[in-house]
């Protein structure tokens, strides 16, 4: 176990952010663990319509409790990032599955290496991951790797350390569990300095249940990835659609072209109209991709300039 480090040489203000919904069985121990390992931090528990004793247990453990009435983890993260002022932000789940004993050393890594995000890559104990979640995590990681040239191996980790300039310039559009995907794609799009560090991931204690629904949340995450693909890489996105239209048109039109070359006539007029429509749609998609690519580059420049407004977190010895 890591001894609590002194992280106040430069008077860093550290905030621990814990989004919660019905975690009465674990929230007190999570709050106490963070207070033990980062004693100078302020621990915030953001309650998201809990119907059990989560709020009371968090207050008794010494947390500052705030509320977000709009259901969904993304809504909670947006509210936390907007409301809390700090130099370093530590975000974790309130279910007690992440081993936070090295949280102080992770904060020191963020400061020492002047990073903007550290992702805690889950190293699960036996039985800690539900099978459906493990398969979904693997598939979505591969999809994001293919589309965005992803350097992350655990996109859905809920344990992260952030700098102020990341938190205060992150748009946080997502409403649910797709928020972690948005965080990673945002970091990839702006080439934000980040790294992954393995952390132990344990089984949930009795009385604590996962809020992630394998299929419904899986579809939400897939939809979010497609939407972000369109927003971040519109030229590639629309060119892919254009290619589908063009190939479909060529497949349907090939027999017509052969017949026309042999006989000089086009016997299937409806098919010819469909082929022309597909080719026109393909051209429109290419044009949309070109125009929206310019828009996306302008948005990226604006996000980058917003990010650069905030100074890098200074090193302890600087």
Has residue 308 got a pLDDT over 90? yes
pLDDT tier at 137 (50, 70, 90 boundaries)?
A: confident
DSSP 98: B
Q: Which helix (H) or strand (E) holds 66?
A: strand 64-67
DSSP state of 205: P
Q: Single out the residue of 134, 229, 133, 214 nearest to residue 181, CA to CA.
A: 229
| Ranges assigned E (strand) in 94-133 | 117-124
What is the token pair recorded at 41? 């931090």
Query: What is the pLDDT at residue 243?
Result: 97
Compute the distance between CA of residue 61 and CA of residue 29 in angstroms, rounded to an integer: 8
Query: What is the rounded CA–CA span in Å between residue 207 and residue 26?
Result: 9
pLDDT in tens, 61-110: 999 999 999 999 999 999 999 999 999 999 999 999 999 999 999 999 99
DSSP 213: -
Percentage of residues of the chain with pLDDT beyond 70: 93
Sheet holding 64-67, edge to edge: 64-67, 42-47, 14-20, 88-91, 160-163, 117-124, 194-201
Which residues are CB-contacts of 39 (< 8 A; sequence separation ≥ 6)?
A: 4
State residue 154 phi and psi, 5-degree precision.
-140, 80
Output the pTM of the full model: 0.87
Outline where 149-268 has alpha helix (H).
164-167, 179-189, 214-232, 234-263
pLDDT tens readout for residues 20-47: 999 999 999 999 999 999 999 999 999 9
Q: With 70 as the cut, is the pLDDT of residue 10 above it?
A: no
For residue 164, give the 3-state DSSP assignment. helix
d(CA 64, CA 34) in angstroms, rounded, equals 13
159-190 core/surface letters (b: 16 or more CB in 10 A; e: else): bbbbbbbbbbbbebebbbbbbbbbbbbbbbbb
Q: What is the per-residue pLDDT for 1?
A: 47
Q: Tell me the CATH number of domain 14-230, given options 3.40.50.300, 3.90.550.10, 1.10.3720.10, 3.40.190.10.
A: 3.90.550.10
Measured between alpha carbons, how far is 213 from 120 in angstroms, rounded to an integer? 22
């Amino acid at each position: 176990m890591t001894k609590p480090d002194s992280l106040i040489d430069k008077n860093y203000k550290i905030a621990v952010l814990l989004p919660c919904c019905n975690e009465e069985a674990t929230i007190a121990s999570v709050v106490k663990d963070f207070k033990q390992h980062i004693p100078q931090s302020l621990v915030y528990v953001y309650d998201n319509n809990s119907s059990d004793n989560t709020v009371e247990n968090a207050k008794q453990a010494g947390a500052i409790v705030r509320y977000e009435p709009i259901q969904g983890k993304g809504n909670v993260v947006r509210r936390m990032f907007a409301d809390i002022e700090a130099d370093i932000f530590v975000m974790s789940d309130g279910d007690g599955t992440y081993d936070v004993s090295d949280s102080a050393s992770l904060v020191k890594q963020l400061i020492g290496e002047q990073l903007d995000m550290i992702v805690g890559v889950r190293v699960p104990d036996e039985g800690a991951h539900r099978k459906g979640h493990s398969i979904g995590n693997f598939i979505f990681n591969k999809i994001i790797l293919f589309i965005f040239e992803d350097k992350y191996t655990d996109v859905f980790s809920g344990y992260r350390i952030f700098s102020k300039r990341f938190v205060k310039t992150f748009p946080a559009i997502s409403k649910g569990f797709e928020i972690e995907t948005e965080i990673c794609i945002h970091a990839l799009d702006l080439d934000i300095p980040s790294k992954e560090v393995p952390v132990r991931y344990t089984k949930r204690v009795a009385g604590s249940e996962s809020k992630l629904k394998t299929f419904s949340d899986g579809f939400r995450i897939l939809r979010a990835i497609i939407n972000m693909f369109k927003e971040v890489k519109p030229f590639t996105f629309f060119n892919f659609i254009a290619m589908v239209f063009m190939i479909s048109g060529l497949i349907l039109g090939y027999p017509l072209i052969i017949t026309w070359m042999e006989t000089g006539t086009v016997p299937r007029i409806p098919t010819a109209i469909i082929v022309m429509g597909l080719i026109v749609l393909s051209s429109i998609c290419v044009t949309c991709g070109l125009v929206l690519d310019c828009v996306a580059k302008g948005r990226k420049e604006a996000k980058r300039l917003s990010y650069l407004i905030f100074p890098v977190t200074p090193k302890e010895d600087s």
